[in-house]
Structure 1
Amino acid sequence: MAKILVLGAGYAGMMAATSLERNNEPFTLINKHPYHYLTTLLHEAAGGRKEPMQYTVKIADVLRKPTSEFVQDEVVSIDREKKVVHCKGGDQAYDYLIITMGWISEYFGIPGMKENSMSIQNLDTAVEIRNHIEREFQTYLEDNDDRHLRIVVGGAGLTGIELVGELCDWIPKLCIQYNIPKSKVDLQNIEAMPSILPMVSESLREVAARALTEKGARLRTNTKLMKVDPGVVHLDGDETVEAGTIIWTGGVRANPILTEAGFTVDRRGRAKVNEFLQSVDDSNIFIGGDCAWAEEDGRPLPPTAQFATQMGPVLANNVTSFMHGQPMQPFQGHNLGTLASLGSEIGVGQMMSIPVKGVIGGLAKEVSKIKYLWQLGGVRLAVDKTNEVVHL
């Protein structure tokens, strides 16, 4: 029997795994943790909205057939010639491979950024940010150094702005908890581009900027981060900002294992695939999510959760078809819009080109969580997890 390996339990990997299960195809899923975490909600975990583990789904609660094997291990490298995946706990042979191993932060060569900042890459790093900010508030009570209360978030894309929104909601609670005047806290969002949230319309950007500013954030666009030293951000114009917390959300690139395995990759390290999400270098390997360099009308698709979720079933169905000599189906991404939360109550975004904002925008974001849980695990999972991750 041919062996299918699925590497990574992110959005694309889990949707591929559940689809393989529905196709009655035996497979092995390899993932570092025994859970799938909701990557697009990690800003909530970092910003103190709910307990971090509430943003996880146990893999065993989703994959229930005896032919669906889960191996908790960390992938180290891929030997395409020998058809072996090397993991920390041992080797795994394969006949067909689905690679959905996610991303790492992209630092764009900014000196010191990687070494001297934190980033939201997974649940562990989200928890690290959350705990670090709370420790900074505690330390302020010991030495009254204002730097402990200064938070710099680099990047004003979706993750950066949503994190700022969560922090705007959490900071007043921390101030009450530690008896610190809210006016002492300085939350800065620094962005080199002229505006925030480039994926939504200009009018919605203005709504978001106004809402966050009213909540106390300082949005500094057209401001370039030049270098980061421990506790110090250097900006263009020789300005420096001393901060106890420095968080980078400015970009992502694919897992470096793809480049190391010799795949044809783009400048962000994503492996090139054909219209069937099949590697152009190896017909027995299919690639999805943030790892895939997929194009539509000659333009690369952005590494978003909605495209990763859509890729999952196509990956599974095309692997199944390829194994059995059946025609494969091309992947066609459907951009359903973008929703950005600005804290727990409000948001902005576009749903099928329809703009939403304020409380309606926030509600739409919460409903999108239920939709994904239903896609992943049906009514049972949606009912079980809604109270944990949805704020209504």
Structure 2
Amino acid sequence: MANIVILGAGYGGMATAVALERSGQPFTLINKHEYHYFTTLLHEPAGGRNTFDEYSVPLREVLRRPSSEILKATVQELRPQDSKVITNQGELPYDYLVIALGNAPEYFGIPGMQENALVLRSLDTARQLHEHIEKTFASWHEDQDDAKLRVLIGGAGLTGIELCGELAEWLPELAAQYNLPLDKIQLINLEAAPSILPMLDEGLREEAQRVLESKGVQLRTGTAIVKVNPNQVELKSGETLDAKTIVWTGGVRANPLIKEAGFEVDPKGRAKVNEFCQSVNFENVFVIGDSAWFTGEDGKPLPPTGQAAEQMGNRVAENLQAIESGLPMQPFHFNNLGTLASLGHEVGVGSVKGVRTKGVPAALMKEGSKAKYLWHLGGLRMLSQKRGQFKRKG
């Protein structure tokens, strides 16, 4: 059998691995952690909804066959010309490679952003954000610096808005816990574009804004950040805002290793692929998820979403099996199931297969999508293990 190597255990990499394992195809999965975490849900533990261990699953609980090799390692270099991957654990050759390395923050060249802002892109950064906010709020009585009670979130896409929804519920809890003046707590979202949640229609955007503002979130659209200093942001208008917590959720780009390896890339560093999710430069390399520059049927690149990565992973697994069997590969077609945004643990907004939803029904549909994903990972066994997950503590 072919020597297949998968890089990354995010949504795309896991989908590929699960499908290959179910087909009986051996592979090696390289990941820097021994667990898979739920990237699209990181706002929940960051905002105090649940404990962090509920948002990950050990890789060996999903990939249980001995022929499914898991290597805990960090990828340091891609050498597609030589069909090799260089890691901190050594060099690995391959017959076929699946690149699912996820993304890196896109700072758009804003001075000081990378150095002075927190991000939400992994379980570790979510924990760091959570602990930073709690520690900062807890220390307010030492000097009563009101900047400690001001949280700034840059970016009003899905990540930024869902984080606002969680924090809007958690920050008042912290105020009660540490006897803080509730009227001094400020949660401000700064967005350079004219509206929030650009992937949703205007009516749903307006509903999301109404809900968040009713929870005390200040949404400032058309407000560009031009510089970030320690504990301060400078706006294009000339205004400055002091805050001890600054979070950046304003965009992502592909892992820089892809461009460094010589792949043809788009401005976000994603490797160009054909209709089979196959690199246009190296036919034994498949690229999926946030790493892939895949042009959809509308002529636009697919956005970096979990559902796109998962669907790509499934198709690539099928195509690898087709190659092994001497059958033709099948093209990838993205089936857009829609977008759901939680605005806290009880309400949300979104569109599913063209049907608009908001309020409690949207939140219930979001919960249903979590259960569906757990089922895909490990069937009833995984769903049963995690069935208490995602229920708000307390």
Q: TM-score scaled by structure 1?
A: 0.98
Residue segments in structure 1 that go unaligned for 5+ positions in a row: none
- Map residues 146-295 of structure 1 onto 2, 5 A cutoff: 146-295=146-295
> For 2:258, what is the secondary structure of its paired residue?
helix
Which residue of the partner structure matches residue 325 of structure 1? Answer: 326
Aligned residues of 1:346 and 1:359 also touching (Cα < 8 A): yes
Which residue of the partner structure matches residue 140 of structure 1? Answer: 140
Which residue of the partner structure matches residue 54 of structure 2? Answer: 54
Cα pair distance change 1:350/1:293, threshold 3 Å: same
Which residue of the partner structure matches residue 347 of structure 1? Answer: 348
- Map residues 63-78 of structure 1 onto 2, 5 A cutoff: 63-78=63-78
Letter in 2 for 1:27: F
* Cα distance in 2 for residues equivalent to 1:350 and 1:380: 30
Which residue of the partner structure matches residue 315 of structure 1? Answer: 316
Aligned residues of 1:369 and 1:390 also touching (Cα < 8 A): no
Question: Deviation of residue 82 (structure 1)?
Answer: 2.0
Aligned residues of 1:366 and 1:390 also touching (Cα < 8 A): no
Give aligned pairs, total: 392
* Cα distance in 1 for residues equivalent to 2:92 and 2:204: 48
> For 1:91, what is the secondary structure of its paired residue?
strand
Runs of 4 or more consecutive aligned structure 1 residues displaced over 6 Å after TM superposition = none
* Cα distance in 1 for residues equivalent to 2:74 and 2:349: 37
Question: Deviation of residue 90 (structure 1)?
Answer: 1.4
Q: Deviations over 1:280-336 (max 9, x none)?
A: 000101111110111122221111111111111111111222244320010000111
Q: Give the % identical residues.
A: 54
Question: Deviation of residue 58 (structure 1)?
Answer: 0.9
* Cα distance in 2 for residues equivalent to 1:117 and 1:313: 35
Residue segments in structure 2 that go unaligned for 5+ positions in a row: none
Q: Deviations over 1:118-146 (max 9, x none)?
A: 11111100101000001111221211100
* Cα distance in 2 for residues equivalent to 1:360 and 1:300: 30
Q: Deviations over 1:158-184 (max 9, x none)?
A: 000000000001011101110112111
The alignment's C-alpha RMSD in Å is 1.1
Aligned residues of 1:110 and 1:225 also touching (Cα < 8 A): yes
- Map residues 359-370 of structure 1 onto 2, 5 A cutoff: 359-370=360-371
> Are residue 91 (structure 1) and residue 91 (structure 2) matched?
yes
Aligned residues of 1:370 and 1:390 also touching (Cα < 8 A): no
* Cα distance in 1 for residues equivalent to 2:182 and 2:366: 28
Q: Deviations over 1:342-372 (max 9, x none)?
A: 0111100001111111111111111110011
* Cα distance in 1 for residues equivalent to 2:136 and 2:305: 32
Aligned residues of 1:253 and 1:270 also touching (Cα < 8 A): yes
Q: Deviations over 1:15-59 (max 9, x none)?
A: 100111112111000000010000000011211111112100110
Aligned residues of 1:154 and 1:247 also touching (Cα < 8 A): yes
Q: Deviations over 1:188-230 (max 9, x none)?
A: 0000111111111111111111111111110001111111111
* Cα distance in 2 for residues equivalent to 1:319 and 1:143: 61
Letter in 1 for 2:262: G
Letter in 2 for 1:26: P
Question: Deviation of residue 391 (structure 1)?
Answer: 5.3
- Map residues 89-128 of structure 1 onto 2, 5 A cutoff: 89-128=89-128
* Cα distance in 2 for residues equivalent to 1:364 and 1:22: 28
Aligned residues of 2:271 and 2:291 also touching (Cα < 8 A): yes
* Cα distance in 2 for residues equivalent to 1:159 and 1:354: 22
> For 2:274, what is the secondary structure of its paired residue?
coil
* Cα distance in 2 for residues equivalent to 1:171 and 1:232: 20
